[in-house]
Amino acid sequence: MANYIAFTAEHAIDYIKEIIKKELITVFADNAELNAYEFGDGNLNLVFRIADQDGNSVILKQALPYARCVGESWPLSLDRARIEAEVLINHGQLCPEHTVTVLHHNADLALTVLEDLGHLQILRGAQINAEQFPKLASHVALYLSYTSFYNSDFYLSAEEKKTKVSQFINPDLCKITEDLFFTDPYIEHERNNFPTELKSHVESIRNNQALKLAAAKLKAKFLSSPQTLLHGDIHSGSIFVDANTTKMIDPEFGFFGPIGFDIGSFMGNLLLNYCAQNGRITELAKRRQYQTHLLTCLQDCYNQFEQHWLRLASSETTDISFASNAFTKDYLHDVLRDAIGYCGAELIRRTIGLAHVADIDGIEDEQARLAVQQQTLVLGEQLMLNATSCTSKDEFYSLLVSLLN
C-alpha cells in the first residue's frame, strides 16, 4: 500500500477524471464536469458521491487504516477493500440482480468505485418508518442461497474451494465480529454500551452458563467452519431497496464461514425492527399489521432459501459423496440451527454491545426504549438457548411466535 493516501472530495474528483481518461469507467463523458461530497458509511470507511451535470453519478468507497467510528487507536487492515471488491465480484457473478456493481477497484489506494444506488432507500431507514417491501424476502433468499451454494463444497472442487478460502482470509474484520458478537456481550468490557437500567439483565446474561456455552459454540463454528463465502455483515444497513429492487452492499466482513451466519444476521435485524416497533407505532392494529409483515418476511425468506438450496443441491452438486437428498437435508438442518443461534446473538450484541441499531436507539421515549431492549435481550437469549433443539423450521417459527406474543 506504498501509494496510499486518504482521499478528500478533490482527490476523488481527480481520481475519477484520471480513470475516465484511461477509459476504466464509462459512466461519465470525457469532458464531464464533476462535483463530489463525502457522506461516510457509518463505522469504518470514507464514502464519496461523484456526479456530473447530467445526473450521472458513482460512489467511491475508500478504506481508512483504522475504524472510523473509534479512531486511529483501532487500526484495521486496508486489505478489507480488496476483500470487499472481490466478494462483490464473486457474488455479482452468482447473483447480479441483488449485488451492487463494482465499476473499478484499486488495491493500492484501498478504493472501489461502485454503481450509485442513491435512487434506492437503505432498508433500515425504511423499516424504521414501517415501510413494506413485498419482494424483499424472495430477493434475499435468492441472493443468500445462490451465493452460499455456489461457494460451498457441494459445488466447488476441494482444490478450488481451498484457493478461494485463502483468497478471502480476513483476520481483522473477522476479529471485530468474533469480539463484538460472541465475546464482549458476555463479559465486562469497555466497548459494551447499555443504559444502567439494563445492568441487572446484563449481569444475568453474564452469569448464565448455558447461554455462555451457546455463545462459545457459535463462536467456535464462526471461527472454524469455512462452508461458504459469506457477505459477513448482512444487517439492514447493508441492503438497498425499493418496491422491485434489493441490492446488497458492503461485504467487507466477507470470509469463508458458516452458512447460517448471514441468514441468521438478516433474520436478527428483522426481529430487532419487530421489537423496536413496540416503542414506535402506538396504534395497536397498525403495529400488529406491520409486525405480521416482518414475521412473514422472515418465514418466506427462510422457506425460499431452503427451497433454492434443495433444488440447487439436487441438480448442481458436483461431489458424489454429497449427492443425496438425505445428506442435503441433514446439512440444511444444521444450517437452520446455526441461523437461529446467530439470529439470537445478533439481538443481544445490538442491544448491549458496541454497535447498536437506530431502530431501537432512535426511540425517543426512554421507558419505551428500555422495554424494547429488555424484549430483544429475552428473545435473543431464548433463541440462542433453544437453537440446537429446534428440529424443523416450523418449530422455529412456533417458538418465535410464542416468544413474541
Q: Which residues contact Mg ion (rule: CB under 5 A)?
A: 250
Q: Max alpha carbon distance in the chain (Å)?
A: 65
Positions 350 through 379 that interact with ligand SR1 (CB under 6 A): 355
Answer whether 16's CB lies under 8 Å from 125's CB.
no
Q: Does position 47 bind ligand SR1 by CB under 6 A?
A: no
Q: Which of 63, 123, 137, 180 lies at the binding interface for ligand SR1 (CB under 6 A)?
A: 180
Answer whether 340's CB lies under 8 Å from 178's CB.
no
Answer whether 253's CB lies under 8 Å from 229's CB.
no
Taking the C-alpha atoms of residue 44 and residue 62, their distance in angstroms, rounded to an integer, is 9
Answer whether 381's CB lies under 8 Å from 344's CB.
yes
Residue closer to ligand SR1, measured from CB, 13 or 176: 176
338 binds, options ligand SR1, Mg ion, none, Cβ within 5 to 8 A by partner type: none
Q: Does position 347 bind ligand SR1 by CB under 6 A?
A: no
**The three three-digit cell numbers of residue 191, written as one number:** 466497548
Residue closer to ligand SR1, measured from CB, 139 or 235: 235
Instruction: Please name the residues in contact with 315: beta carbons below 8 A apart, sequence gap of 6 or more.
Output: none
Q: Which of 67, 78, 81, 234 lies at the binding interface for ligand SR1 (CB under 6 A)?
A: 67
Q: Does position 169 bind ligand SR1 by CB under 6 A?
A: no
Residue closer to ligand SR1, measured from CB, 69 or 401: 69
User: How close are the terminal C-alpha atoms of the chain, in Å?
Assistant: 53
Residue closer to ligand SR1, measured from CB, 193 or 245: 193
Instruction: Please name the residues in contact with 100: beta carbons below 8 A apart, sequence gap of 6 or more.
Output: 88, 92, 114, 115, 117, 240, 247, 248, 249
Q: Does position 239 bind ligand SR1 by CB under 6 A?
A: no
Q: Which of 4, 24, 43, 278 lies at the binding interface for ligand SR1 (CB under 6 A)?
A: 43
* Region of 27-35, 173-181, 270-278, 397-405 interacting with ligand SR1 (CB under 6 A): 173-181
Total count of residues recorded for the chain: 405
Residue closer to Mg ion, measured from CB, 102 or 198: 102
Q: Between β-strands 35-38 and 228-229, what pairing exists: parallel, antiparallel or unpaired?
A: unpaired
Measured from the CB of residue 270, what is the shortest distance to ligand SR1 in angstroms?
A: 16
Positions in the binding site for ligand SR1 (CB under 6 A):
43, 67, 69, 176-177, 180, 233, 235, 355
